[in-house]
Structure 1
Amino acid sequence: MNYINTLRDQVDAMLKGFVQALPSLAIALVILILTWLVAKGAVRLADRITGKAHIRNDLKALVETLIKLAVWIVGLLIALTVAIPSFTPAGAFAGLGIGAVAIGFAFQDIFENFLAGVLIMLRDKMQLGDWVDTEGISGTVEKITLRETHIRQFSGELTIMPNSMIFKNPVKIHTDQVERRFDIMVGVAYDTDLPEAEAAIMRALKSVDTIAHNRPVDAFAREFGASSIDFWVRWWVNTKEQNLFLVQRDVVYAIKRELDAAGIEIPFPYVTHTFKEDVPIKEMAASNDAA
């Protein structure tokens, strides 16, 4: 019977303690509600300030997230201090001890991606809408969060990459500059008058309205190919105003038209005869004699 009385006393003490703590819990709840309202207002204020500063959208999202996180941390600490009088922030940090180290190892990737996301947003390069190549993924940057980056490939697939992978590895940004240079190789027959071929290619480039004519266009006789002498043709495109693939199509059309008009041949690649291992030598000799 003593055990039953002891248990009853413990339950009564817990109930009395809970009733006594109700005012503190109510105040803590009010503090959390106020924290939510303050965080919401602080985000709106930050949005107005960053809107006037004309900064990037992903950086605006970073500022809003950090402000919201700071407000909630302060509000939670105040609410815990009110609800639990013995609680202090210093005591909580001291009490973590080895547990903080274990948590750090367990969430190492999350913290790493978080820090990488912050650094990616703070630097000027790789903005939303940029065409990038990284780790075999090519597409448009659609979204940057504190943990991951969304890249929409040109075939329509969405690739979600951890920020640490993008931060640690090389990233090629095709649209970093408004104007970008493109090039193709154009082969002409060996009996072609090369200055005439170069002039025809230059006429073709100048006739294409979609290339950037404020930049130079080039056509260099580059090398002796297997069946042609190859010209290295270069031009610039305004990536903000023109479709890169359509411009290249127009350039190819124009070069073919001008070479045809000048009577310059674009030869087929020279194909060497390859011997098949499964054909007996006698049969090959017989076929050559017959020919």
Structure 2
Amino acid sequence: MNIDVAPLKIIKDQIEAFTTSLIATLPNILAALVFLLLVWLANRLIGSVYSRVLARTHMRSSLKAALESLVSVLVWTIGILIAATIAMPDLTPTKLLAGLGLGSIAVGLAFKDIFENFLAGILILLREPMRIGDYIEVEGITGEVKKITLRDTYLRQVDGDLILLPNSMLYKNAVSVHTDWERRRVTIIVGIAYGEDVAEGRRVMEAALKGLDTVDQQRPIEVFAQAFNSSSIDFEVTWWTGSKPVEIRRSKDKVVEAVKSALDEAGIEIPFPYRTLTFKEPLSLKGSNDNDYERGEDGGSSSD
């Protein structure tokens, strides 16, 4: 029986060629590994120096962490490229840059949203449109800013829920920063009866807000007659208080209590809707003796 040894010889030659090539390139590979070790040490050293430099600045902690990460990524990228040329001398920098360019396009298309959020996070951290602890509103979502990362912004809503918003959403849409100022203007509507004196009602409401600790007494307290409502003359009562949601709620609570007490004390009526009914057909009512009574007039209107 004859055995064809030609395929075996080809496999043997390929293994020998691979082994010879590996042994030839082994010093280069070891040199590349040693270089990567040096890159690791350099990255640690540069990161330590960079952290000390940033510690002397007034940058927010999230921005410092982002810049430190960018520097680390840059150091490792350059180090890996140099290590690749050391391990494979035939791999020139031109070929590396060309491959890196094609690879970056493919990665950019695959991770478009991630890079979009990353760049938006960098711009948000650099521009500082909001701070940790601010209450913001975007696209109907309101909450306290707890953390800003390179990809997400963490919002804690007043009911305790934690919401993670992509940074691109904050960068592309209008954002209301409710606590950008320490003070915020608040308005409630108060109505008095038509039979009351408008000027006296205005004076009583203004006096009720003076002296309240939740009302900023350094800013104007404004009371304006606003509209003729169905059962009352409505006043717009406006004042300034703290900008946090709990401060606004607490201030509204005390203002409503103070205005109600002041109007009651002054004898000024806060009306509730009055309704008068007239019936088009006579209405039959049965009394306790089952006697029928008729009540009503022809008509057909009801008013509040």
TM-score interval, smaller chain = 0.7 to 0.9
CA shift for structure 1 position 232: 0.9
Tell whether 2:130 aligns with 1:123. Answer: no
Q: How does 1:25-174 map to 2 (within 5 A)?
A: 25-95=29-99, 100-174=104-178
Q: 1:29 to 1:257 in 2, by over 3 A?
A: farther
Q: 1:42 to 1:231 in 2, by over 3 A?
A: farther
Amino acid at match of 1:179: R
Q: Any gaps of 5 or more consecutive residues in structure 1?
A: 274-282
Tell whether 2:242 aligns with 1:250. Answer: no
CA shift for structure 1 position 272: 8.7
Q: Which whole-Å CA distance do the structure 1 matches of 2:129 and 2:18 have between them?
A: 58
Moved more, 255-264 or 32-41: 32-41
Q: Which whole-Å CA distance do the structure 2 matches of 1:233 and 1:15 have between them?
A: 88
Q: Is the contact made by 1:32 and 1:76 (CA closer than 8 Å) also made in structure 2?
A: yes
Give the CA RMSD over aligned residues: 2.6
Q: 1:57 to 1:97 in 2, by over 3 A?
A: closer
SS at match of 1:221: strand
Larger Rg: 2
SS at match of 1:53: coil
Identity of aligned residues (%): 44
Q: Which whole-Å CA distance do the structure 2 matches of 1:153 and 1:195 have between them?
A: 41
Q: 1:261 to 1:77 in 2, by over 3 A?
A: same
Q: Is the contact made by 2:51 and 2:68 (CA closer than 8 Å) also made in structure 1?
A: yes
Amino acid at match of 1:44: S
Deviations 1:215-262, CA, capped at 9 Å, x for gaps: 11111111111211111111112347x822212211222111211211
CA shift for structure 1 position 290: 4.3
Paired position in structure 1 for 2:236: 232
Q: Is the contact made by 1:223 and 1:229 (CA closer than 8 Å) also made in structure 2?
A: yes
Paired position in structure 1 for 2:16: 12
Q: Is the contact made by 1:58 and 1:128 (CA closer than 8 Å) also made in structure 2?
A: no
Q: Is the contact made by 1:207 and 1:254 (CA closer than 8 Å) also made in structure 2?
A: no
Q: Any gaps of 5 or more consecutive residues in structure 2?
A: 285-293, 297-304
Q: 1:97 to 1:156 in 2, by over 3 A?
A: same
Number of aligned residue pairs: 282
Q: Is the contact made by 1:189 and 1:229 (CA closer than 8 Å) also made in structure 2?
A: yes
